[in-house]
Amino acid sequence: MVTADALHCQRDHVAYLAERGAHWILTVKGNQPSLHAQLARLPWRAVPDGARDSDRGHGRREIHTLKILSISTGINFPNVAQALQIRRRRRRLDQPKRFTTETVYAITDLLVHQAKPAHLATWLRGHWSIENKVH
């Protein structure tokens, strides 16, 4: 299982991983504007939460919600099996009424039976944890 940020959301990278039998979860951001727009247009409001957790630390409280859709067509990227929407809602503990919300999209080649929502959420959180320690 390879998790990578938006920099690695490239067709060549996916082909490289597929040749080696690796599975992947890739974050999608502005470097793939067409793909990002396709993911944002999916019917997320109709999708129930697949995983939800909350965390408190560093002077803030965060609530993470993960929604997942199986993809068979309509996403112009190779080997995508599922699309993910991660919504992070944060508030500083010293400002209890002021929330900020960030929505992030990701894609994976894993099929529904290969990874439960909790597994996907754990892999994504693990990736961000490592990335935060590097910066």
Tell me: pLDDT of 131 over 70.
no
Query: What type of residue is 5?
Result: D
Mean pLDDT of the chain: 86
Q: What is the pTM of this model?
A: 0.84
- What's the domain range around 57? 2-134
CA distance 65 to 98: 18
pLDDT over 90 percentage in the chain:
52
pLDDT of residue 96 exceeding 80, the answer is: no
Q: Output phi, psi for 88, to 5 deg.
A: -110, 120
pLDDT of residue 97: 80
Q: Are 105 and 77 in contact (CB under 8 A)?
A: no
Over its C-alpha atoms, the chain yields an Rg (Å, rounded) of 15
Q: Is 129's pLDDT higher than 80?
A: no
Q: In the chain, how many domains are there?
A: 1
How is residue 24 written in tokens? 């992947």
Q: By C-alpha distance, which of 133, 119, 108, 128 is closest to 22?
A: 108
DSSP code of residue 73: S
Lookup: tokens for 111? 């099929």
